[in-house]
Each structure stands twice: as C-alpha cells, then as structure tokens.
Structure 1
Amino acid sequence: MLGAILTQNTAWTNVERALSQLRAEIPLRPESVLALAEPALAELIRPSGYFNVKARRLRSFCEALLEAGGEAALAALPTDQLRQWLLAINGIGPETADDILLYAFERPVFVVDAYTRRLFGRLGLIAGDESYEDIRQHVEAALGPDVACFNEYHALIVRHAKEVCRARKPGCQVCLLSRGCQQREDESQSP
C-alpha cells in the first residue's frame, strides 16, 4: 500500500529504491512509519521524488489505517465502501485507491493510468477526454469482475507501453497491435 502512494508521478524503480531504504530502517508497518519524524521519513523516501509531499501522504494514510482498525478491518468492507474510505484520505486519488484495491486487497477494480490512456487512445478505444471513472467502468464491464484478469491485463498494458508503445519514439514497426493503431495511421499520413 505504501508503494501505491510512493509511485505517484515516478517510475517503479524509484519506488523500489525508496522502499528498500525505508525497509532498512524500519518494519513497513503503519506504527513504524508514524514513529519516524516527518523529515526523516522524507529523507528515506527521497528516491521516489516529491518526498516531502509523499511523507505527509504516507503519514496521513498510516494514521487513517490505524484509526480504521487496520488492514483486517478494512478488508471486511465492501469494495465500494473501501474505495470511498481510500478516496477520503488526503493525497489518494482514484488511480492510487484502485491500485491499493486491486493489488493489496485483491478487489476486482481496474487501474487506469497514463499507460492505459496512451495505449487505448492510440488504438482508438477512447477519444482521450473520457473521465477516469468512465474508462475504469468500461473496462470492468467488458472484462467482468476478475482480479487475476485485471492484474494481468494492467501488467501487460504497462509492459507494452514501456517497451513498445512509448510516449516518444513508439516502436510501431514491432507492435503486434499496430493494425488498429491510430498513432501508426497518423504517422503514415504525415508528409
């Protein structure tokens, strides 16, 4: 859950470095995070970027988690109620909440991120101005409530977007999805 907060606006490799530094100092438990002074916490998570903001967010999350009775108490909540609880915490938006729901609580909630938007946009599956909720609900309706499927599908989207469907210099020539890609069509029509 801490990783979901740390990964905001940064690459996972940076989060791994931050978590490694944090884990070397304390057990990754809410009480341990809260026992650290905020500046010390910020310094430990520095590799994740925006470390002062993220230190405050981690502390807010850990405080809320303990006040709610811990992970076990939250796991007993229905998914919609748990999602609303997460969204009420300062610094947790829809993507982070859904990341926590899918990966930590194993709930059938699809995570929409920049990779999803890029790939779906290039494939013409979205226009680009859809809301987060519209995209999430559309994918969930199309695939059905399947945690393993959402987990794998999201992982495949991320991998494809990082390795092939990059923001700059996409690898259209090796893309298995290029037949339906708007990006490739736009490039072939330019002078």
Structure 2
Amino acid sequence: MLRASIRKELLMVHSILFSRCGDPGWWPGDTPFEVAVGAVLTQNTSWDNVERAIHNLKMKDLISPDRIVETPDEELVRLIRPAGFFNQKSVYLKEFSRFLSDRFSGRVENLGSVPLERAREELLSVKGIGKETADSILCYGASLPVLVIDAYTWRFLERFLGGSFPEGVRKGDYDSLQSFLMGELSGDALFYNRFHALLVLLSKDHCRKTPACGSCPLSAICSFGMGVGNRTK
C-alpha cells in the first residue's frame, strides 16, 4: 500500500542526504558546454571513462561546439574512444554541437531563452539525445528546473516505497515518474540538481544492486531498509 505522506517523506530524503553529504557539486565541468559533452558521452559507460575522453578533448582544446564540428571524424573518434560506442557518440557530439551553434549561438545557457518544454523538444530532436541526456543538459548545463530520471531513481523509489508505485506512474515510463516527482517536490533548478545528484551518491554507496542497508542513512524511513518491502531486485 502506498504511503499517503510521500511528499513529506521525499523532502525528508533530501534533508537527510543533504545533511549527510552536503552539496554534491554535480555535474563536474568547467563550462556548461563541457557538462553537455559529458552528458552525451556518459551514455552506457562509467564516469571514469567519460573523464578520460573529456581529458583527451581538453588536451586538444576542443571543448567548444565549433571546434568539435571542425574536427575530422577519425580524430574525434580516437579522442573519445575511452567513453565507448565512440563511432556513434562522435556523430552525436557533432550533431549536438551543430544544433547548439545554429539555434543557441553555441551556448548551452541560451537554452533558457525559450520556454522549457520547447528547449526540451528541440534537444530531443537531435540525433543521440534521449530524455535522460536532454534533461541532464537542461538541469546541469543550463540550470533549468528539470529533474533527471535514471536507473538509480527507479531503484531507489521502488525500494523506498516497498515495491509500489504511485497512481499514474508506470514502471519504466520516464515521463510518468518525472511528472509525479516534480509535481510532489515542486522544486527549483538547484533543488532538482541536488536531489538527483544525492540519489546518485546514495545509489553508488548504499542503494546498489546488492544493497548495503545497514549503513544507509535512510534505513529508518525506507520500506526496504526496514524489512517490509519487496526484497526482489
């Protein structure tokens, strides 16, 4: 049975994690465009691999839309090879860079110059930009009020609620979960940034595929941690 006080409990989750971890300072990047590059490269790979690829791009002074577009395909593939799926991602980076230059003067921050839904729709029209990547760019790169949904979010919420999802949320459906959480939390850009980043930290340290509930700061309010949830993963 779904708990009635979910909004209060989600805010408590944020409060507990923020008290324990502080501001995660996520997403790492020296510029909004570097953040966006990281969002594209992190698809289906670890962040360590992304950092190696970004380091290669920085060594060639290529962290700008124009320079990425001008880089020969073979060279770009070689530089981002550590991130995996390098042939596809080189295309995605060039398509995104062209889009950003053509529509927003090459500046990720300018995505905020149009209504949020329109900015999101335009990003989703770019080859290789899916919902999670688009929202990561909007939230972390452009500092817009969007909550990123990922596998960590689903795993946490399913365990936290004891295997039940709120009415209207369909398991695996990105938009339904995002709509529900943003409706309940009603946060600003900084809140959504921190909330998602804190869940990522929680999922890496405690709410892993094999959970470490004993040391989890949420064990006293989490159905799974209290032993009343569905313990199948």
Question: TM over 0.5: same fold?
Answer: yes
- Equivalences for residues 1-191 of structure 1 within 5 A: 1-70=36-105, 71=107, 73-124=110-161, 127=165, 129-167=171-209, 169-179=210-220, 180-182=222-224, 185=227
User: Once the 2 structures are TM-superposed, how far is the Cα of residue 104 of structure 1 from its aligned partner?
Assistant: 1.0
SS of residue in 1 equivalent to 2:227: helix
After superposition, give the CA deviation of every residue in 1:136-186 in whole Å (9 maximum; x if it has no partner): 11111111131111111111100000011111x210121232342337637
Runs of 5+ unmatched residues, structure 1: none
Whose RCO is larger (CA < 8 A, sep 6+)? 2
**Same amino acid, percent of matched pairs:** 35
Question: What is the CA deviation profile of residues 96-134 of structure 1, one whole-angstrom value per residue up to 9, with x for unaligned ones?
Answer: 010001011111000001111111111127547141011
Give the TM-score normalised by structure 1. 0.90
With normalisation by structure 2, the TM-score equals 0.75
Bigger drift between 146-155 and 123-132 goes to 123-132
SS, match of residue 57 in structure 2 = helix
| Structure 1 contact 4–100 (Cα < 8 Å) conserved | yes
- Normalized per residue, the structure richer in helix is 1
More displaced, 155-164 or 141-150? Answer: 141-150
- C-alpha distance 189-91 of structure 1, shift in aligned 2 (>3 A): closer
